[in-house]
Amino acid sequence: MSASTPVKKKRLPNYVYLSDESVEHYTRSTLKGNYGLLPIEIFWRDRQQFLHEAGYVLRPRYWPDWRPSWLHTNLRPTFCEDSIVLIDHQVIDARQSDNNALVAIKKFRKETQELHIAEYLNSLRHDPQNHSVPVLRILNDPFDPHLSLMVMPYLRPCNDPDFGMLGEAVDFVTQTLEGLAFMHRHNIAHRDIAVENIMMDAKAMYPEGHHPVRLDYTPDAIYEVTPLPRLGRKIPYYYIDFGLARQFPQGASHMVVGDVGRDTEVPELSSTVPYDAFKVDIFALGNLYAKELEEKYYHTHFLIPLIERMKQQQPSSRPTAEEALAQWVDIRDSLDQSTFRWRLPPKIEAGIGRVINGTVAAAWEGINNLKKYVR
């Protein structure tokens, strides 16, 4: 191909395009402001220039001169990246201008313990059992002296996509129990352990990336993406959101008050009667294992003894984080590692579906094993 030969532009899938009638409809809708910035997004648009100068590039939607990219085209807004709105008003995604790495930027109030605890845990990053979210940078908000902006690696929800193999669940339990034991060892209670507050670095599952808000689509929001399995790849899990966390002086009591946290099933929560914050963390993590693993998938019955002990109604009957981790290591080491590649069928999956999907999983496992001998 000569240098003067124009490159043929790839045609997008048919579902991206609108009929002439629909173009008029979406044009009117757009001009009426139906795709405009939400009030929660204006906060970030107003800080776009500041963040840009600090080395962080927001998506075009948040640039001051943004104009919807689908106007005067026949493109469906749904598949135009700049139509996608934020879900969490506290956090926005951005790209580092020097290396294009995806990051998350969170706004938070300075007077909370969140900044102190996050920075303290970040100073202990050398410890492999530290599973708190890395902090890349803290910026003072350019407009509000009471706010700061915390820059972190972009992370994905720990349960999206679903766990696929038994070994993936084993790794998740190991990392999260290590992380809890690490926090408690340093006298920090998280106080808000829930599936929403454990995230994963899933870059190894999505080598070509995915959209930071529309998670099941490519970065341009046009094509669906299929993740690679977690098993056999390095998938770090991290605790996030230390807004309710508490760090205690060495040797001090861990008793607190407050009916706080996402897990409303913790029996002792109270705004008036003191309770042990560490024991609440134990219950909440055990409850997470119950709801996200044992109650959700077949082949996870080995978790029951650990869950039952962590979810004792009487806080004094629950193990410490170190004891729970030791019990888990004993359970994990007793498992036959050949089962780690067993598929985890969802308990809501119909019987015939389990047979078909299990057969497919076994076939792929056979292919993977065969590759070891033909390389």
Residues 83, 110: Cα–Cα separation, whole Å: 32
What pLDDT is recorded for position 86? Answer: 96
Q: Provide the pLDDT for residue 1.
A: 47
pLDDT higher than threshold 90 for residue 352: no
Asked if pLDDT for residue 7 goes beyond 80, the answer is no
Pair (64, 162) in one structural domain: no
**Domain presence at residue 246:** yes
Check residue 357 and give its pLDDT: 54
Place of tokens 């650990």: 306
Average pLDDT of the residues in 76-84: 97
Q: How many helices (H) and strands (E) does the chain have?
A: 9, 12
Q: CB within 8 A of 236, min separation 6: which ones? A: 131, 175, 200, 201
- The yes-or-no verdict on residue 45 having pLDDT over 80 is yes
What's the pLDDT score for residue 344? 97
Answer yes or no: is 64 within a domain: yes
Residue 8 has pLDDT above 70, yes or no: no
| Exposure letters 333-362 (e unless 16+ CB within 10 A, then b) | eeeeeeebbbbbbeeeeeeeeeeeeeeebe
Does residue 319 carry a pLDDT above 50? yes
Identify whether 333 is part of a domain.
yes
| Domains in the chain, number | 3
Residue 300 shares a structural domain with residue 371 = no
User: At which of 86, 101, 125 does a domain end?
Assistant: 86
Confirm whether 141 is domain-assigned. no
Same domain assignment for residues 162 and 216: yes
C-alpha closest to that of 59 among 39, 30, 85: 85
Any domain includes 161? yes
- What confidence score (pLDDT) does residue 111 get? 86
Question: Domain check: are 53 and 201 in the same one?
Answer: no
Report if residue 225 sits inside a domain. yes
The stretch 323-329 carries a mean pLDDT of 98
pLDDT at position 6: 52
162 and 300, same domain (yes or no)? yes
**Residue 149 in domain:** no
pLDDT band at 112 (very low <50, low <70, confident <90, very high): confident
Task: State how far the Cα of 116 lies from the Cα of 247, in Å rounded to an integer.
Answer: 9
Q: Which two tokens stand for residue 90?
A: 């506290």
Structure token digits, residue 154: 């972009």
- The residue segments making up the domain with residue 208 are 155-341
Q: Which candidate, 213, 111, 131, places its Cα nearest to that of 171?
A: 131
Enter the tokens of residue 81.
């990246």
What is the residue-wise DSSP string for 44-67? HHTTHHHHHHHTEE--GGGSTT--
82 and 219 co-located in one domain: no
- Give whole-number Cα distances, 18 to 36, 77, 218, 370, in Å: 20, 9, 20, 46
Per-residue pLDDT, averaged over 263-285, amounts to 98
Whole-number pLDDT of residue 363: 47
Confidence of residue 356 (pLDDT cuts 50, 70, 90): low
Question: Over the stretch 149-207, which tens digit does the pLDDT of each residue have?
Answer: 999 999 999 999 999 999 999 999 999 999 999 999 999 999 999 999 999 999 999 99
pLDDT attached to residue 11: 78
pLDDT at 5 over 90: no
pLDDT tens digits for range 210-251:
999 999 999 999 999 999 999 999 999 999 999 999 999 999
**Of 277 and 368, the one with more pLDDT:** 277
* Residue 132 within any structural domain of the chain: no
Residue 22 has pLDDT above 70, yes or no: yes
- Do residues 52 and 174 both lie within one domain? no
Whether 57 and 173 map to the same domain: the answer is no
The average pLDDT across 108-134 equals 95
Confidence (pLDDT) at 2? 46
Q: Identify the domain boundary among 34, 61, 86.
A: 86
CATH number at residue 263: 1.10.510.10
